[in-house]
Structure 1
Amino acid sequence: MSATAVSPRARRTRVLLLGTVLLVAVCGFVYELVIIALGTYLFGNSIFQVSIVLAAFVSAMGLGSLAAKPLQRRPVTGFVLVESAVALVGGLSAMLLYAAFAYADLYQPTMIAVASAIGFLVGCEIPLLMALLQRTRDESPGRSVADLLAADYLGAVVAGIAFPFLLLPALGQIQSALAVGALNAAAGFVVLRTVRGPSMLAAPLLAVLAVLAGAAIFAGRFEVTARQQLFDDPIVHTERSRYQDITLTESGSGDLRLFLNGDLQFSSRDEYRYHEALVHPALAGPRARVLVLGGGDGLALREVLRHPDVKRVVLVDLDPRMLALARTDTRLAGLNQAAFSDPRVTTVAQDAFNWLRSSTERFDAVIADFPDPDDAGTAKLYSVEFYDGVRRRLLLPGGRLAVQGGSPYFAPDAFWSIERSVAAAGLATRPYHVDVPSFGDWGFVLARRQGEGPPPLAVDRPTGARLRFLDARTLAAAASFPPDRGRRSVAPNTLNRPRILDYERRGYRDY
């Protein structure tokens, strides 16, 4: 056959094979994203998860490419068997990882093993498809490689768009992996039919599809059971938003707890200690206009609204689903005392960092109530650049900034890095800490412009209301740190060098 006289059947075969290249590329990339996303949700620190998964996956792909050499003598058989294996392992990957985390506490080694196994099998695919492509047309290997890589890279683009915008919102991680596993099996059938391979090779593909179908039927019950295994109390609400897993649990004694991506955000038994300590020192001064960054549960907002002389509050939170839940869930709305219904409140569902860069409004008090900085998305909200933006763009003269800083006991380097970051942004700081039984020793940073000096720790009791925890004596004690948890010589956190991620991970390593 010459390069200039290609039969219609050969041309059709080549198109189908290149389409298969695109399909398996989509599948392989989605498996990577599922593993990365699941690890990030469960552990945070997305940089660590991405690095480990990519290293395991790509290195195993190289080994798979070498292992595919003997299979190229019978590329159809080799490809169908490889697709059967990758469909099975990849399709069940999310369930395997979830089970390893929930039941065996073996997530990290299982993650590396699963990523390596899938990477090895994906590495086998391209050499086998290359061998099949070269059988359809007599042309230089360079041209075949160019066509194959073009289809492969296009598949990565399709997967990169489809996973966050289609698969994850519609199916979730477990069902997404199962659906993509079925696509891998379909790729095997396409090749089997296109090159007219032995019909007996359909058997392993059909067997894998049967396993995946059974797993899909069982997946809902498995997810509920495995998810409950992660929490001490019964789950009363759970959902996966575009940004995070949101879970509410409630004990028999009425202890309501909120978890975001598995991390505890509050316990109704003692959340008042945290929120009173965060909010009221920032409001011991001008407070007509208040900004709350984060705090989508509405509990910090509740404390702000206890002051009748507060005229306007803007709350900026990333997740519209969290804001909706805080309004509509009767348990959560009861705890925040229907704070979002107050006419003084305006809510904005947007990333706080991006919102800050476009805001023209200034405030007497800014309260930063973000989740702990255990991934890149939250680390930027604890950076010098962020606090500098707060100082320059948001704070009125005499205004105060209050930041939740994590635990000075469990993660002292992270806490003092946050304090250093606030100071490096041109703010005079006053660190303090209180005991919140659900969290342990918990720290905060109060700040105002350096020319105004460190703000005094004070509390103005709301008119006609009583604080359950915070008073002048408690605040005076809160400013004292024991020698083993005092100020440390650590570096500030910046966008270019997100040191807070390492400080946070090191701090909780042994707890």
Structure 2
Amino acid sequence: MGTTTSHDTVAVEAAAAPTAAGSPPAAPAAGTPPAAYSRGARFLLLFAVFLCAACGLVYELALTALGSYLIGNSVMQTSVVISVMVFAMGIGSLAAKPLQRRAVGAFALVEGLLALVGGLSVLVLYVSFAWLRIYMPSMVVVTFAVGLLIGAEIPLLMTLLQRIRRQEAGSAVADMFAVDYIGALVGGLCFPLLLLPAFGQLKGALVVGAVNAVAGVVVVLWIFRRQTRRVVRVSLLAGMAAVLAVLGTVYALADDIEVTARQQLYRDPIVHAETTPYQDIVVTRSTAFTGDADMRLFLNGDLQFSSVDEYRYHEALVHPAMSGRRSSVLILGGGDALALREVLRYDDVEDVTLVDLDPAMTRLARTFEPLRELNRDALRDRRVTAVNADAFNWLRDATRRFDTVVIDFPDPDSAALAKLYSVEFYHLLKQVLKPESQVMVQGGSPFFAPKSYWSIAATIGEAGYRTTEYQVDVPSFGNWGFVLATPGTDGPPPALRLAEQAPPLRFLDDAVLEAAAVFPLDRRRLDVRASTLMDPVVLEYTLNEWQNY
């Protein structure tokens, strides 16, 4: 409720149809005696409108966020949810026309159903994803059901508002939609700032469902109690109590349900899981075939490292970039502090700035004992300054320059990440570089996602860098590629080598690096486009190439 003009237009037509025909708007049913309402009745009803609008927008945001976490491709998820919901809201508004003569009971019924369907929506979809693996069809059905019920609210509330005090149709619509839009604003802000941090997605939806149920009870059993027969009031109260009981029971079991469903998605036992405003963080732990502990970090379901072989990835990511000057180092991403661990192995590194978006990730790296052991307590090193900020925005305000930059972002499988692989981003990066600085970028897999990898390389080149591409094998990832770059277009590409003072490594040496720069015939450079903010082709490449893996 309160989310789109399309919904409001249909609702207005449904609620104001009698007025257009020249008769009073939404008159009470035949035989209903004139009613006297308390002074606060209209305010209370408008407050119900406010609550319904807030709840409606929260449902919409919850469905969008869940799809982005579970499936990725936030643009597609947002488009599908909004489109289906708006369509369903229009149908719901039209379907509410015959119910206006019994608006009190109909509104209570709609609110009860919406409380149940909306409150359980996140749980139903999560279960569908974890066990049934039919997320998209389930999401469309649930979104349509929620939209249908939201669409029915406005015509019924408009009718009830007119019963309390008759107004011209335009004035009634203005009052209703003003409160409706304010409620939507509050709901939209409460979702990321209050509900997600305090309750999480699953419990947050249940809490909002309970608010919907209470709004229905207040309207029916208080404002219109004199115009509703006792048997109807008792029946509706019993129904609302049942809805609240279901929501309360599920709320009490929510943690166990979430843990069980989440475990279905991962092969190994989960030892840590949390949902932040930015991502879903999961850590699993098992025993590898070698007998070593295998700890794995997943962000939004995507593997970030395995403790069995992460040294291959992080040695390849960090050490070639450290072959030049390295007294000051900038790490963008890499909140697990494993790249930082490798940087700190150089005694001549004087200071390191690590910029990662999610405070929960850096907190985990600092406090979760198994991860602390793996990163060697890198975030507690006196040379390190950790900053929680969006890297793009942080670069816009940055003033100091660094000798070496290591960029360890997740793959660009969302619009938010794709901007960090854009020409504009690499242009911004130049303002923190010195003429001789070296930049290292993880670029994904040249084998599994060749268009994405070579697009990243082309994007860096388009931004005015000289580049050297190379790839290594990481068993838990497969073939993985990197791009070493230095600012400027004149001169040779940066040399792929290790520093003379490089610490002892487990995987990488100069011979391995020399071989890494040779791409087999099936992984050679592709003629693909550079990615920009306005044309994020790397997102399209990434989603298309990884969809079958």
Counterparts of 1:358 and 1:266 in 2: how far apart (Å)?
Answer: 31
Distance 1:351 1:91 in 2: 32
Secondary structure at 2:303 match in 1 = strand
Q: Does 1:283 align with 2:322?
A: yes
State the alpha-carbon separation in 1 of the partners of residues 331 and 418 from structure 2. 18
Matched, 1:484 2:514: no
Q: Establish whether residue 229 from structure 1 lines up as the match of residue 227 from structure 2.
A: no
- 1:108 deviates by 1.3
Q: Deviations over 1:343-394 (max 9, x none)?
A: 2222112111111111111111111001111112211111111111112x11
Partner Cα separation in structure 2 for residue 29 and residue 17 of structure 1: 19
Please name the residue that 1:202 is paired with. 237
Structure 1 vs Structure 2: percent identity of aligned residues?
56
Check if 1:64 corresponds to 2:102. no
Q: Partner of 1:141 in structure 2?
A: 169
- Deviates further, 269-278 or 127-136: 127-136
| TM-score normalized by the length of structure 2 | 0.89
Q: Distance in 1 between matches of 2:524 and 2:544?
A: 17
CA contact (8 A) 2:305 2:476 kept: yes
Aligned partners of 1:347, 1:462: CA distance in 2, in Å?
A: 26
Cα separation, 1, equivalents of 2:182 and 2:263 = 39
**Residue number in structure 1 paired with 2:131:** 103
**Structure 1 segment 95-244 matched on structure 2, within 5 A:** 95-193=123-221, 194-196=223-225, 197=228, 198-199=232-233, 200-244=235-279
Counterpart of 2:434 in structure 1 is: 396
Q: CA deviation at 1:448?
A: 0.7
| In structure 1, C-alpha distance between the alignment counterparts of 2:302 and 2:137, rounded to whole Å | 21
Match of 2:114 in 1: 86
Q: Return the alpha-carbon distance in structure 2 between the equivalents of residues 121 and 462 of structure 1.
A: 67
Shift of 1:201: 2.1
Q: Is the 8 A contact 2:37 2:164 kept in 1?
A: no
Is 1:434 equivalent to 2:472 in the alignment?
A: yes
CA distance in 1, matches of 2:544, 2:524: 17
Tell me the C-alpha RMSD between the 2 structures.
Answer: 1.8
- TM-score, normalized by length of structure 1? 0.96
1:318 to 357, 365, 388: 357
Residue 286 (structure 2) aligns with:
251
SS in 2 for 1:290: strand
Farther off after superposition, 157-166 or 44-53: 44-53
Q: Deviations over 1:264-295 (max 9, x none)?
A: 11000110111111111111111121111111
Deviation of 1:452 after TM superposition, in Å, equals 3.6
Q: Distance in 2 between matches of 1:460 and 1:433?
A: 19
Q: Is 2:462 the counterpart of 1:416?
A: no
For residues 274 and 436 of structure 1, the distance between their equivalents in structure 2, rounded to whole angstroms, comes to 6
Q: Which AA in structure 2 matches 1:380?
A: K
Residues in 2 aligned to 1:451 and 1:389: alpha-carbon distance in whole angstroms = 19
Bigger Cα displacement from structure 2, 263-272 vs 69-78? 69-78
How far has the Cα of 1:238 moved from its partner? 1.8
CA distance in 2, matches of 1:40, 1:327: 27
Structure 1, gaps ≥5 residues long: none
Partner of 1:495: 533
User: Is the Cα–Cα contact under 8 Å of residues 306 and 462 in structure 1 kept in the other structure?
Assistant: no
Count the aligned residue pairs.
Answer: 506
Aligned to 1:77: 105
Q: Give the Å deviation of 1:167.
A: 0.7
Matched position secondary structure for 1:82: helix
Q: Does 1:383 align with 2:411?
A: no
Q: Closer, same or farther in 2 for the Cα pair 1:180/1:304, shift >3 Å?
A: same
Residues 136-162 of structure 1: CA deviation (Å, up to 9, x unaligned):
222211111111111110111010111
Q: Give, in whole Å, the separation in 1 of the partners of 2:432 and 2:333.
A: 15
